[in-house]
Chains A and B, each alone.
Chain A
Amino acid sequence: QSALTQPASVSGSPGQSITISCTGTNSDVGGYNHVSWYQQYPGKAPKAMISEASDRPSGVSNRFSGSKSGNTASLTISGLQAEDEADYYCSSYTSGSTLYVFGTGTKVTVL
């Protein structure tokens, strides 16, 4: 089971909106709505930001939103802030023997 494909880096200025893509196959992203997103600061544990493609857990800023179309899921961060600078990973349930696959990760830089 190959990792989901994410851009290595995405950058934006404060206040702007950015979108991170997460591309898989019909066996994972395209086959289920079970896509989630995680934010990770260096040396820290990941934090759940989005579940079921577009559900935002309580306590997560509404500046974060998720969507999915076909084999690609997306995380959008609106009103970009300095504190959003981190690594972001997507994850999907899969139909293979490996139940869950993560994305390659995207480093978000706030210019």
Chain B
Amino acid sequence: EVQLVESGGGLVQPGGSLRLSCVASGFTFKNYWMSWVRQAPGKGLEWVANIKGDGRQSFCVDSVRGRFTISRDNAKNSLYLQMNSLRAEDTAVYYCARSPKFDFDCWGQGTLVTVSS
């Protein structure tokens, strides 16, 4: 069974940093693109970033470029999102998702990030 489990969310002050993790199981992690998708409270879904299976290529949405970094450790079946210079508008539930083609076929349960003073 494919499983994705996120962790690392919490309350952080504006300008602060946080590192999210996602541990994958049930599939050959290194063979898949992986993505982070977020959802602000009461709002819709927003794609944040993705990374190729070998970790050599990644992309992100304009609003986080230069502040967020996506990475992965295939030896640990883990995906990461390093978030720096956090803003109030980054407050959201962050989901990791498997991206087999141009979609998101499996999702984790999400981890809540709250940016507030």
Contacts and interface: CB of A to CB of B under 8 A. Distances in A.
Interface of A: 3, 32, 34, 36, 38, 45-48, 51-52, 57, 89, 91, 93, 97-105
Contacts, number: 61
Interface residues of B, number: 21
B61 interface: yes
B59 A99 contact: yes
Nearest to A100: B47
Interface in B21-61: 35, 37, 44-47, 50, 59, 61
Contacts of A36: 102-104
A57 B102 CA distance: 14
Interface of B: 35, 37, 44-47, 50, 59, 61-62, 95, 101-110
Contact of B102 (A89, A93, A97, A105): A93
A91 B104 contact: yes
A48 B104 contact: yes
Given A34-B102, A36-B103, A93-B102, A45 B47 contact: no
A105 B43 CA distance: 9
Contacts of A101: 47
